[in-house]
Amino acid sequence: MDTLTKQRRVWKEEFWQNPWDQGGLAVVSIFIVMVLMLMMFATVFGALLPLEKVDQLDES
């Protein structure tokens, strides 16, 4: 059991020392954040009525 713990610790240390792994993690994180922001943007502005429709509803 002790060797398994040591192997995990070594793997984690190696991961954070490799700049390519850190860069990949940053790119994936930025992509996920960008997709979530675009979904939020589309939801907020898709829920609002366009000004033409608001004017037509007021005149009726």
Break the chain into its structural domains and give their ranges: 2-59
Q: How far apart are CA 10 and CA 14, in angstroms?
A: 6
Q: How confident is the model at residue 57 (pLDDT cuts 50, 70, 90)?
A: low
Q: How confident is the model over 6-44, as pLDDT tens digits?
A: 777 777 777 778 888 888 999 999 999 999 999 999 998
β strands within the chain, DSSP E: none
- Bin 36: left if φ > 0, else alpha if -120 < ψ < 50, else beta: alpha
Q: How confident is the model at residue 56 (pLDDT cuts 50, 70, 90)?
A: low
pTM for the full model?
0.59
